[in-house]
């Protein structure tokens, strides 16, 4: 999944041109040479996180890898680099020999961090950030800093999302034109359009998959997404949003109607991610849900089988409250921590390295396009010809390594410099700026995660966007008609009896005591 995310971030097109006037927040008056003393090279060891062992880093000698060497040259630094699988980070901590900088997926509460921040293995950075890299400190949103804060101290340097609304509703506009319908705005219009798609012979009017993952457009419309950061306050208790009984039953009835009418796959509960993408990219789906950055990939792949296909991102259908969209992601994608044994002088130099990554035009050009004269050229008018854009899968993996992994501390929402180069890229930027910015469902979450959840696996959230198995199983039964939707209040009673009462009690206490709670609707974190 992480590699897929990086590949989406790193999409490229051959022969593209962009003018540096749109480079964004780069500090055009500085270069890497200004950041550190060239007579005193910065040296540190670092581990980058991954979710899979295969891929580009596994095929190269990291100590001599060309993009690492160029990064070292630009900043006058030597980096002893390794890549560690998220599931194997516990072995690294148990071994007792940590690199100077440790990268992790997510925040300090990620299980892979093994309580290492709480155990005092890393340095508090708040004061050093404010004193020595104030531009970096002010560049990163408060919500992202707070997500990597423990007991009032910042410990992590985040790869963050300035816009946590990332998922979008995709539609085949060419098929919509055949139906004679308009783009749907409400959930009722959405279902009506699906019926029209079925009438013209579309096999999957709305593409579904197991666990309602990337198949939750209806749940978003009714604001009952059953996810980790989707708690809300009801009658003085902090509960998961699926405790909104009436809304949940309306959502389930809508899904059941879609199922009964053949608007979603009859076997949706067992369709894998591969099945889901195959159904879409074979041209057999009309509407689906996915991260907005996937627009280019979908457009290119579907056009291979249907050259006239026109894929677009549209506003998500709204529910009874006039809102819609998908869940807000956590503000932090990855984070990097500095070993407590690193002396202060080197800590400051490492912070300046990450500031260079996040803010300088030099770094933005390097991580986006590579090396001038080798992979891109600057034209007389300041525009850039990116002639080294990858053509093969291995090339994409290599570029995603440079632009997605090595570029560690930055706004990971999207790469505007790259997206400006293509029509699909400009559509993605427009989708973020004019659609996603105005939709999405926030909620209350907990960082670190609620402790009581670990005692009740069937009530836990396996992923940020996957509901508890007990809840998902009952939802599926109701959509299939194996259990009456009217039984939803009984499901909630069973949830409480199975350990949910303890989860709700801890959530309520922590929220009202402001202990590590996050409220993404307000785009800020509580202390």
Whole-structure pTM value? 0.79
Between 500 and 15, where is the model more confident? 500
Closest CA to 67 of 350, 359, 403: 403
What per-residue confidence (pLDDT) applies to 39?
56
Q: Which of 107-116, 136-145, 487-496 reaches the highest mean pLDDT?
A: 487-496
Sign of CA dihedral 300, 302, 306, 308: negative
Q: Is the pLDDT of residue 33 over 90?
A: no
What per-residue confidence (pLDDT) applies to 40?
75
Instruction: Work out the average pLDDT over 391-407.
Output: 89
- Rounded to the nearest integer, the mean pLDDT of the chain is 89
Q: Which string of b and e fits 62-94 if b means at least 16 CB within 10 Å? A: eeebebbebbbebbbbebebebbebeebeebbe
Q: Give the CA count within 13 Å in the CB-facing half-sphere of 518.
A: 28
What lies within 8 Å, CB to CB, of 453 at 6+ separation is: 459, 460, 461, 503
- The string of pLDDT tens digits covering residues 146-174 is 889 988 899 999 999 988 899 999 999 99
Angle among Cα 476, 106, 12 to the nearest 5 degrees reads 90
**Cα dihedral 375/44/107/395 (nearest 10):** 20
Q: Is the pLDDT of residue 36 over 50?
A: no
Local confidence band at 268 (pLDDT 50, 70, 90 cut-offs): very high
What per-residue confidence (pLDDT) applies to 464?
86
Between 285 and 300, where is the model more confident? 285
What per-residue confidence (pLDDT) applies to 12?
32
41-to-33, 77, 233, 350 alpha-carbon distances in Å:
11, 5, 53, 11
- The string of pLDDT tens digits covering residues 235-264 is 999 999 999 999 999 999 999 999 999 999
What per-residue confidence (pLDDT) applies to 491?
98
Q: Is the pLDDT of residue 17 over 60?
A: no
What per-residue confidence (pLDDT) applies to 27?
43
Q: Is the pLDDT of residue 21 over 80?
A: no
What per-residue confidence (pLDDT) applies to 23?
36
What per-residue confidence (pLDDT) applies to 10?
37
Q: Is the pLDDT of residue 131 over 90?
A: yes
What per-residue confidence (pLDDT) applies to 151?
86
What per-residue confidence (pLDDT) applies to 381?
85
SS3 320: coil
Q: What are phi and psi of 524, to 5 degrees?
A: -150, 160
Local confidence band at 420 (pLDDT 50, 70, 90 cut-offs): confident
Local confidence band at 30 (pLDDT 50, 70, 90 cut-offs): very low
What per-residue confidence (pLDDT) applies to 14?
32
Instruction: Work out the average pLDDT over 406-421.
Output: 90
Instruction: Work out the average pLDDT over 275-287.
Output: 96
What per-residue confidence (pLDDT) applies to 384?
86
Q: Is the pLDDT of residue 78 over 70?
A: yes
What per-residue confidence (pLDDT) applies to 345?
97
What per-residue confidence (pLDDT) applies to 518?
79
What per-residue confidence (pLDDT) applies to 423?
80
Q: Is the pLDDT of residue 38 over 70?
A: no
Helix (H) or strand (E) holding 524: strand 524-525
- The string of pLDDT tens digits covering residues 298-331 is 998 999 999 999 999 999 999 999 999 999 998 8
The rounded distance, in Å, linking the Cα atoms of 102 and 477 is 43
Local confidence band at 521 (pLDDT 50, 70, 90 cut-offs): low
How many percent of the chain have pLDDT more than 90? Answer: 72
Q: Is the pLDDT of residue 286 over 80?
A: yes
Closest CA to 51 of 393, 403, 333: 333
Residue 416 C-alpha from the chain's centroid: 16
């Amino acid at each position: 999944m992480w590699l897929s995310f990086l590949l989406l971030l790193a999409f490229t097109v051959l022969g593209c041109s962009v003018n540096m006037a749109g480079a964004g927040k780069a500090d055009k008056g500085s270069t890497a040479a200004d950041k550190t003393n060239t007579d005193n090279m910065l040296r540190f060891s670092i581990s980058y996180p991954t979710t899979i062992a295969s891929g580009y880093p596994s095929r190269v000698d990291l100590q001599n890898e060309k993009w690492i060497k160029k990064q070292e040259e630009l900043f006058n630094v030597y980096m002893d680099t390794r890549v560690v699988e998220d599931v194997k980070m516990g072995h690294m901590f148990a071994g007792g020999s940590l690199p100077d900088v440790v990268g992790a997926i997510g925040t300090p509460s990620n299980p892979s961090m093994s309580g290492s921040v709480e155990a005092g293995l890393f340095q508090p950075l708040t004061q050093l950030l404010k004193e020595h890299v104030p531009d970096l400190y002010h560049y990163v949103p408060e919500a992202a800093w707070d997500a990597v804060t423990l007991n009032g101290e910042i410990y992590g340097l985040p790869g963050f999302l300035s816009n946590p609304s990332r998922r979008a509703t995709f539609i085949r506009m060419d098929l919509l034109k055949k139906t004679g319908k308009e783009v749907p705005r409400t959930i009722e219009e959405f279902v009506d359009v699906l019926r029209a798609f079925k009438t013209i012979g579309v096999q999957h009017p709305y593409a579904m998959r197991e666990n309602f993952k990337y198949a939750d457009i209806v749940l978003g419309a009714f604001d009952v997404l059953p996810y980790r950061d989707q708690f809300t306050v009801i009658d003085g208790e902090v509960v998961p949003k699926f405790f909104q009984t009436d809304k949940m039953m309306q959502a389930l009835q809508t899904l059941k109607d879609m199922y009964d009418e053949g608007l979603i796959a009859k076997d949706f509960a067992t369709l894998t991610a591969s099945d889901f993408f195959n159904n879409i990219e074979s041209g057999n789906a009309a509407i689906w849900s996915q991260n907005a950055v996937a627009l280019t990939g979908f457009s290119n792949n579907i056009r291979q089988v249907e050259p006239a296909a026109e894929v677009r991102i549209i506003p998500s259908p709204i529910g009874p409250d006039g809102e819609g969209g998908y869940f807000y992601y956590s503000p932090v994608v990855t984070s990097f921590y500095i070993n407590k044994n690193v002396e202060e002088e080197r800590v400051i130099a490492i912070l300046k390295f990450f500031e260079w990554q996040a803010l300088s035009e030099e770094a933005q050009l390097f991580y986006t396009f590579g090396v001038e004269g080798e992979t891109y050229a600057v034209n007389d008018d300041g525009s850039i010809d990116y002639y080294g854009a990858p053509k093969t899968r291995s090339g994409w993996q290599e570029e995603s390594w440079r632009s997605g992994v090595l570029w560690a501390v930055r706004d990971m929402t999207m790469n505007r410099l790259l997206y400006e180069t293509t029509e699909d890229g400009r559509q993605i930027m427009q989708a973020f700026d004019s659609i996603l910015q105005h939709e999405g469902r926030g909620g209350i979450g907990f960082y670190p995660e609620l402790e009581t959840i670990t005692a009740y696996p069937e009530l836990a959230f396996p992923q940020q966007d996957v509901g508890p198995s007990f809840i998902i199983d009952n939802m599926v039964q109701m959509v299939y008609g194996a259990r009456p939707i009217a039984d939803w209040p009984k499901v909630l009673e069973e949830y409480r009896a199975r350990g949910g009462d303890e989860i709700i009690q801890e959530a309520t206490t922590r929220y009202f005591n402001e202990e590590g709670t996050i409220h993404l609707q307000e785009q800020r974190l509580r202390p």
